[in-house]
Amino acid sequence: MADFRKHIICAHRGLSGLVPENTMAAFAAAQAVGADEIEFDVRLCGDGNMIVCHDETIDRVSDRKGKLADYRVETLLGINAGAYRNWYTYFCTPEQVIEHFAGRITLNIHINEPGKDAKVIRNLRRLLYQHNALDYAYFSASGKTLELCRRFAPDIARCAVDAADESGLGAIDYAVRFACSRVQFYKPRFTKAMVERAHSYGIRVGAYWADDSYEARRFLDMKVDTILTHRADVLIAMPGRT
């Protein structure tokens, strides 16, 4: 059986199985329980500023309705992003996350939209430089966004996310094409053979998602390097982790 100590636990949207996702509270909780990485999603608001949010709308998580494009960042920062869990906590910006967690935990930054002229990529790169976080962060993206990451932020590590686009290229092919050091698969759309193929190129493999010991062990037996999880607390507590 694989040695659990050699593998990385990435808290997907923070400790999102217990705490409202993509909030500073979720990221702090993930760090507190001992996660190796936190993953968060970056999108654009209506005023062109960046916000941490997975969806294009705020309907699912907040006590308000509408698209991110309908709001200015100042307004979003005053909206409850934890209503779906009966919490009260706010949306946050990538700058807040990077400023607070840079150097303390690895940042897996999922770029959902690059913005006009790759504005999001360029601004994130600037923030990582400002906070001396280049060695503690990488960009995750799919399709053509990876090409933009390589063009506008060649010095920041990249992860190809499993998401097909019109070209038909798979995640491993994108990882090779755009010199990614990582690839992220989505269960159940991957096999041990795919993991081995990625490893043959020297590419580390992440898998989304495992929230219990059975699934985590299955991933480890497939030689997955990084496990994305909503319950970092559960996986950290597994025998063999410490």
The pLDDT confidence band at residue 4, using thresholds 50, 70 and 90, is low
Question: Strands 37-44 and 50-52, how do they pair?
Answer: antiparallel
Mean confidence (pLDDT) of the chain: 95
Helix, coil or strand: residue 19: coil
Counting residues of the chain whose pLDDT is more than 90, the rounded percentage is: 91
Question: Is a pLDDT exceeding 60 seen at residue 241?
Answer: yes
CA-CA distance, 239 to 57, in Å (whole number)?
39
Which tens digit of pLDDT belongs to each residue from 21-48?
A: 999 999 999 999 999 999 999 999 999 9
- With b for 16 or more beta-carbon neighbours within 10 A and e for fewer, the 133-148 pattern comes to beebbbbbbbbebbeb
What's the pLDDT at 168?
A: 66
* Predicted local confidence at residue 3, as pLDDT: 54
Q: Which CATH architecture has domain 20-213?
A: Alpha-Beta Barrel (3.20)
Using the predicted structure, report yes or no on whether residue 100 has a pLDDT greater than 90: yes
Pairwise CA distance, residues 85 & 101, whole Å = 24
What is the per-residue pLDDT across 71-93, written as a single tens digit (0 to 9) for each?
Answer: 999 999 999 999 999 999 999 99
Give the pLDDT confidence score for residue 22 in this predicted structure: 98
Residue 167: how many other CB atoms lie within 10 Å: 11
What is the separation of C-alpha 183 from the centre of its chain, rounded to a whole number of angstroms? Answer: 12
Three-point CA angle 29, 30, 36, nearest 5° = 155
Sign of CA dihedral 131, 136, 137, 138: positive
Instruction: Write the DSSP string, 42-69.
Output: EEE-TTS-EEE-SSSBSTTTSSS-SBGG
pLDDT at 224: 98
Please say whether the beta carbons of 159 and 142 come within 8 A. no
Q: Please tell me the distance from the alpha carbon of residue 105 to that of residue 149, in angstroms, as a whole number.
A: 22
pLDDT tens-digit map of 182-215:
999 999 999 999 999 999 999 999 999 999 999 9
pTM, to two decimals: 0.96
Residue 45's CB: how many other CB atoms inside 10 A?
Answer: 22
Residue 7 has pLDDT above 90, yes or no: no
Residue 223 tokens, joined? 């030689």
